[in-house]
Structure 1
Amino acid sequence: MRTGNEPMNARSALRLRCGLAAWGLAWAIGGTVLFAVAGHPGWAIACAVLVVVTAVDLAVVIHRIRQGPHFQPGRDVPPYEPVRRRDDR
């Protein structure tokens, strides 16, 4: 349930998530290359899967950052009413 103060307190850590995804992508690429050179194909495949997952995450985060700020209701918007079940009537 909303408390009514979300527009003032709600923040998204997209830039932090972008940095962490970039850091993870660099490590996953490095791991893929090193394991492939060392002759460990199983670990190289595992790191390659992490490269794909991290690259997709990074693409989503960059897309969200480029979307810009979204509408957030002001103080004059009342909190949402809780969802009532049918048997609570």
Structure 2
Amino acid sequence: MRTGSEPITARSPLRLRFWLSVWGLIWAAAGTAAFALAARPGWAAVCGALLLIVTVDLAMVLHHIHQGPHYQPGRDIPPYEPDHGGTGRGQ
């Protein structure tokens, strides 16, 4: 719910999440390769699953970054009334 007190300079943490995903992608790939070479298939599978999760997260973050900014109401728009689950008709 919009309260009207949001900071004007609020930023999305998508860029931080992008770089953390890249860091996780590097470590998960290195772990998968290292455990595969060390003949530890269980740990290689765990790192491979983590690599898949990090890759999906990175794809989602990139998708949201490429969407660009979305409309946000300005300071001249009053706060919204909360929706109490009704249809808004005849209440």
Tell me which interval the TM-score lies in, with the shorter structure as reference length.
0.7 to 0.9
Instruction: Measure how far apart 1:10 and its partner are.
Output: 3.5
Give distance in 2, aligned partners of 1:67 and 1:7.
Answer: 22
> 2 CA distance for matches of 1:48 and 1:73?
43
Count of residues paired in the alignment: 87
Alpha-carbon shift at residue 44 of structure 1 (Å): 0.3
- Map 1:42-61; keep pairs closer than 5 Å: 42-61=42-61
Q: What's 2:41 paired with?
A: 41
- Equivalent runs, 1:49-88 vs 2, <5 Å: 49-84=49-84
Partner of 2:30: 30
Structure 1 residues 59 and 12, CA gap change in structure 2 (3 angstroms): same
Residue matched to 1:13 = 13
TM-score of the superposition, structure 2-length normalised? 0.84
- TM-score normalised over the length of structure 1: 0.86
Q: Which runs of 4+ in 1 moved over 6 A?
A: none
RMSD of the TM alignment (CA)? 1.8
Structure of higher RCO (CA pairs closer than 8 Å, 6+ residues apart):
1
Write out per-residue CA displacement over residues 34-71 of structure 1, whole angstroms, 9 at most, x where no aligned residue: 00000110100000001100001001111111111110
Structure 2 residue runs of 5 or longer lacking an equivalent are none
Runs of 5+ in structure 1 lacking a partner? none
Partners in 2 of 1:9 and 1:3 — Cα distance? Answer: 16
